[in-house]
Structure 1
């Protein structure tokens, strides 16, 4: 279920924007929003100032399409004169069959292009890839990729991006068979009492390996200089940025000032670095402040994953001057692999273990589990369950792993692994006693939904995001209540191994098709009028910390 707010000022009417009445005495405007009144032209408009609709020279104005006079209502093709309000009020563009034509998508592929530098994707990488795969495989949408290069922001064809996505999937081993997965095999061996997993090797692919992987990606796509972004992005396109990278560098977004017909839409997962600065590094706080400022300056729409995250993000945007940004809050869908048949790993039969999944960083609260496992060893001795820590390094990640793996009391019981595919993670969860999520702060919590979908009990911290997405299968405990976590884990050991499958809360829809229908309807319902007024030339995006 999705909640939409701010589209045309109506929190519930997706795609039915309220249009302010046009002032009949107002100056005519071109499609770029430039005033073209007689005698008082907008300096940014390079067409002649006459009493009527006139063609405009810059590419930003030529992209507008229809031409109209606000004062007279006459229209013609190929020039300018229509204000954003007039354009928004018009019926949507139709195909020859009479169906509404979906918006073109200019997809920011920056994070995807950098994917080969990592051995395994993080959560945001998987979300970015899922969005890209959906839109570039869409049968009726014109999609192009946008990427920063040494010669500026450039546009690349959909075919080239699809070839890159195919190669990236192969490089990240998401489709690797379990019997060919060395990381999965080493974890199974460690849980059965064999040598420990070499987590350091999994974290550090090495410069030579990274170079080869980047070369492999370029070989698949073929070299191209691309086309200039200001001219090559399709008219009226949605610029979709899921991967965040460009949001931290405002210079990469300034091309949007020259293309007021483009509707920028960004995804923000949370603003935890701004609301819980003690849990993140200072650089992350600065980056998030810049991301919020960039969103406030350019966005026509915002995608979020929970109403909790949406409300916190909108509060930050209000401080940055955008309290009314059109927003949709929709829980992310599960990867298709989690909906298929479930089979526990035979090699792990009879072995009790719990799993924690996510970036290894202070806000995930791994140190609580380290102390909990010490207490479990005292209470249960040789019957103590194993703890499998699945994740990639974040801020202070190495020191956290050192504390987890070097404690003498828990030697051989705590295993750190990075590089598991979604299929391997599903197989691991299928045999687990439960998933543990003791985070101090979260914007979403996808592992909770993955575990719930396949029937694995969850013990999670009692925080707003977990309360929103947690179903009947989730036990919520204060993230600093050590004895409470010990008791909950012991209760799971004494209970039946599995919970009912598919116990997702009513607010969550695991169906990818339904999720993307919601997203597409939101994108197509936005208009250029949802963008903020342009800032004066030369003014950079002001961060919340400046």
Structure 2
């Protein structure tokens, strides 16, 4: 579909982390994704990129002058292919840097709108998303369409490797993302599978997943130098923290010394000192046995990492868990063999190329390291042959998923709507006809609903219900639904009530679906998009009601020998359960 004549989609990009990290000499993996996606959207047609930052649970938009200065500075600082990176700072960046030291000054410069209705909020850094209030403010002020890049859920699956409190914080992040966002970009199938499992365990609505593998920086594509007759060494890259498993490698090196191995190879440790690793720090600082054989480099630039990788025998990557494993992909892209943990995600990032060993099988690590250290290592030579077939992930490939999201937003924009899933937007009756949302009513059934009422709030923002009233709904099912693109459900509410005040999402067979509402007097027609649904012999249509998204299911069973459907069951939760706030209400607070 062509969009040249359409107004661009405004992307409000959360640059809170980029702003906070503006003086960091070297980027983390999250930093790279954050910056790369901002730069890509900045150049993409039909996209108007606006960078913003958080303060006091709200989002503020930077003026273009400072947004551009921030991106140009970080692009030069973190992504330059030059061996000697220019540290020159523009006058605009220097001004931004000074102003950002005082939040009140930065807030005074923030732009106030008005903002276009056709917009989306995108967050690639995990910043701010532990706050439901922040995301609620985004939905009210900027856009209900939110896109999140999720790097991992390690604090939830492996809390023993993170700081105290990180598990609860990250759980809130994922819960909020699943509540407010329907589009998730993920860096690996392993990350996606773990989020799917979390959804199954908690009953959360499955989002639309888009695999967005982290690209390798082009500077790593240059081939490593040919093996030279120099002292053999191995390299570890990554922050010194418990899950990276530096301890095991240092113990292997101490064992090499204590067992009397001759010609012990060197170990080069690249990465800053992190947290909860006092035993590792003690070995690095106090162990005389390994001191002659272990070199701690600390933080290093990409150019320095490449220099160390180029002459090493192999990268050692004994990590317990990863979201993707960027150092592994970078080493392989540079033509460097690797010995890596035998965990699922590293089979993704490593494409089956490395030697895979269980992270706690220290004897196998020891044997493999000694083998690879030898000039005539057969195993290493075989891996170098496998490396010739390695196709490193590129950033352009990573953007493909984002392209699909932008295209879908633009497609819906051409239909006259403002995003993928906005319960409070409307299509006119004529608009529905224009887009071929015709259907044949083959069956009708009137059903009584218990307490089908709009959301009401008291002075504290809590929810309550009205008692003693009822309403009815009429369902109409489209003819030949098995081959149809849409399902139409008509709901009639009595007493002047409205469906849009409680409906927050619709799912088909557990996957969130696009839907539109067409209202006419007291009748609301819900048109559910089935194009991405698994139309097997049964369909489960789920309506999510209220802020807490309580599910209400409509079970349909298709008859493959006819054009129609048989209704099996339909049950609706009481609004007393589906709409009450998190604090709950006692009977005295109900009018």
TM-score, normalisation: structure 2: 0.62
- Of residues 525-534 and 457-466 in structure 1, the stretch that sits farther from structure 2 once superposed is 525-534
Q: 1:535 aligns with which of 536, 540, 547?
A: 547
Asked if the contact 2:212–2:399 (Cα under 8 Å) also holds between the matched residues in 1, the reply is no
Correspondence for 2:365: 485
Q: 2:238 aligns with which of 358, 364, 367?
A: 358
C-alpha displacement at 1:155, in angstroms?
Answer: 1.1
The structure number with the bigger radius of gyration is 2
For residues 103 and 399 of structure 1, do their structure 2 counterparts lie closer, same or farther at Cα, with a shift above 3 Å needed? farther
For residues 455 and 436 of structure 1, do their structure 2 counterparts lie closer, same or farther at Cα, with a shift above 3 Å needed? same
Correspondence for 2:174: 292
Higher relative strand content: 2
Give yes or no for the alignment of 1:239 onto 2:124.
Answer: no
2: CA distance between counterparts of 1:244 and 1:404? Answer: 32
Correspondence for 1:522: 405
2: CA distance between counterparts of 1:435 and 1:415? Answer: 14
Q: 2:265 aligns with which of 360, 363, 385?
A: 385
More relative contact order, 1 or 2 (CA 8 Å, 6+ apart):
1
- Of residues 512-521 and 263-272 in structure 1, the stretch that sits farther from structure 2 once superposed is 512-521
> Any gaps of 5 or more consecutive residues in structure 1?
1-91, 182-212, 542-546
Q: 1:512 aligns with which of 377, 382, 395?
A: 395
2: CA distance between counterparts of 1:217 and 1:397? Answer: 36
For residues 278 and 219 of structure 1, do their structure 2 counterparts lie closer, same or farther at Cα, with a shift above 3 Å needed? closer
Correspondence for 1:94: 3
Q: Deviations over 1:88-128 (max 9, x none)?
A: xxxx78333xxx76633110001001104644322211221
Correspondence for 2:476: none
2: CA distance between counterparts of 1:151 and 1:463? Answer: 38
Asked if the contact 2:70–2:93 (Cα under 8 Å) also holds between the matched residues in 1, the reply is no
Pairwise mapping of residues 98-497 of structure 1 onto structure 2 (< 5 A)? 103-116=9-22, 118-138=24-44, 140-149=46-55, 152-169=58-75, 172=77, 175=80, 178=83, 217-218=96-97, 225-227=108-110, 231-258=113-140, 261-340=143-222, 342-343=224-225, 350-379=230-259, 381=261, 383-397=263-277, 399-494=279-374, 495=377
Q: Deviations over 1:343-375 (max 9, x none)?
A: 589xx9713211111221111111100111112
2: CA distance between counterparts of 1:245 and 1:123? Answer: 14
- Of residues 295-304 and 125-134 in structure 1, the stretch that sits farther from structure 2 once superposed is 125-134
2: CA distance between counterparts of 1:504 and 1:105? Answer: 40
For residues 365 and 124 of structure 1, do their structure 2 counterparts lie closer, same or farther at Cα, with a shift above 3 Å needed? same
Backbone CA RMSD of aligned residues: 3.6
1: CA distance between counterparts of 2:355 and 2:211? Answer: 24
Asked if the contact 1:154–1:226 (Cα under 8 Å) also holds between the matched residues in 2, the reply is no
2: CA distance between counterparts of 1:530 and 1:276? Answer: 36
- Of residues 107-116 and 119-128 in structure 1, the stretch that sits farther from structure 2 once superposed is 119-128
1: CA distance between counterparts of 2:178 and 2:255? Answer: 48
2: CA distance between counterparts of 1:449 and 1:248? Answer: 30
For residues 168 and 143 of structure 1, do their structure 2 counterparts lie closer, same or farther at Cα, with a shift above 3 Å needed? same
C-alpha displacement at 1:447, in angstroms?
Answer: 1.1
- Of residues 276-285 and 428-437 in structure 1, the stretch that sits farther from structure 2 once superposed is 276-285
Asked if the contact 2:284–2:291 (Cα under 8 Å) also holds between the matched residues in 1, the reply is no
TM-score, normalisation: structure 1: 0.67
Higher relative helix content: 1
For residues 530 and 393 of structure 1, do their structure 2 counterparts lie closer, same or farther at Cα, with a shift above 3 Å needed? farther
| Count of residue pairs the alignment pairs up | 412
Asked if the contact 1:304–1:330 (Cα under 8 Å) also holds between the matched residues in 2, the reply is yes
